[in-house]
């Protein structure tokens, strides 16, 4: 099944990379799913992570840069001693502009974003797969707080910058870790497995200055053995780094409460059509509906 991505100017492009085609074949057949079964195990993913931490893995860096067409001028110059060191590279301070207008809701990362309404039964349909927020959080009481709000899915690909930020000033609660497996977060997998309630994930509540209580969740994925968050600070600032993913495509999920945030029209319309919208870290993607006092 083809997937599509739009930029903020409205240009729509079909996603047809070699990686997409391989994953579609694997997840789309009984034999392929049998091959994938051991690969989604966190233990094997951790072993893969150790290999990517080794010095020999650095040999793959130049090949990947050429294949993915990555602009190295955006990143701090350094000599990479492993593939993971390259994958978690730091971006130059002036390469991303954080929108600091208080009422502007910003993207936590470079990604392809989709937004979905959460209905009165706290259910949400991501692509063709139905979820309940309670399944996602394993907490029915907390899920109820997001009834009538929005669920935002920020899907990072392997060529994206894999660091993510806090989206507003406020306070962060304790973090909740939910162990699981590590399916790819590519849309082809979501048609076969309910990946967002099966994958390893971690979330916290952000009591923000402008958008109510936002739930922020990091979702691990195929060959991502580590979600590397900074130490819990309590008080947080918009634009400050929250953490990064180790190798692989990964996902950030945000949940916003009813009547708190309105998605930008292009993102909302694209999502209704099943089209992801390409956004960058710190970019405006919505507005506050009610300014907090």
Exactly one of 45, 111, 250, 288 is catalytic; name it: 250
CB-neighbour burial class of residue 159 (10 A; exposed 0-12, middle 13-18, buried 19+)? middle
What 3-state DSSP class applies to 197? helix
Instruction: Report DSSP letters for 86-149, one per residue.
Output: HHTPPBPTTSS-----TTEEE-SSSEEEEEEE--TTSEEEETTEEEEHHHHHT-HHHHHTTTTS
| Alpha helices, DSSP H, located in the chain | 18-27, 30-39, 42-52, 61-68, 83-87, 133-137, 140-144, 187-190, 195-198, 265-272
Exactly one of 20, 45, 107, 110 is catalytic; name it: 110
- 99 carries an active-site annotation: no
- 250 carries an active-site annotation: yes
CB contact at 8 A, 246 and 226: yes
b/e code 109-147 from CB counts within 10 Å (16+ = b): bbbbbbbbbbeeebbbebeebebbbbbbbeeeebbebbe
Active site amino acids: 110, 250
């Amino acid at each position: 099944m083809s997937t599509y991505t739009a930029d903020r100017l409205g240009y729509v492009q079909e996603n047809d990379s070699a990686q997409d085609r391989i994953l579609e074949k694997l997840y789309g057949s009984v034999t392929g799913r049998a091959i994938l079964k051991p690969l989604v195990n966190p233990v094997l993913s951790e072993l893969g992570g150790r290999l990517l931490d080794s010095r020999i893995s650095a040999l793959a860096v130049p090949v990947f840069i050429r294949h993915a067409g990555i602009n190295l001028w955006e990143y701090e110059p350094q000599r990479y001693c492993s593939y993971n060191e390259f994958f978690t590279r730091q971006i130059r301070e002036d390469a991303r502009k954080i929108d600091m207008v208080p009422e502007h809701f910003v993207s936590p990362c470079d990604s392809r974003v989709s937004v979905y309404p959460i209905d009165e039964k706290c259910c949400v349909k991501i692509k063709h797969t139905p979820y309940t927020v309670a399944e996602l959080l394993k907490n029915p009481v907390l899920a109820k707080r997001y009834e009538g709000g929005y669920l935002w899915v920020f899907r990072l690909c392997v060529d994206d910058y894999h660091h993510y930020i806090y989206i507003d000033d406020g306070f962060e609660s304790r973090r909740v870790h939910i162990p699981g497996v590590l399916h790819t977060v590519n849309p082809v997998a979501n048609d076969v497995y309910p990946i967002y309630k099966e994958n390893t994930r971690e979330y916290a509540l952000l009591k923000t200055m402008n958008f109510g209580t936002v739930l922020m969740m990091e979702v691990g994925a195929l060959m991502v053995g580590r979600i590397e968050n900074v130490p819990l600070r309590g008080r947080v600032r918009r634009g400050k780094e929250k953490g990064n993913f180790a190798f692989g495509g990964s996902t950030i999920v945000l949940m916003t409460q009813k009547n708190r945030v309105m998605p930008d029209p292009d993102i909302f319309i694209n999502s209704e059509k099943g089209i992801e919208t390409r956004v960058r870290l710190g970019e405006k993607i919505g507005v506050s509906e009610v300014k907090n006092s």
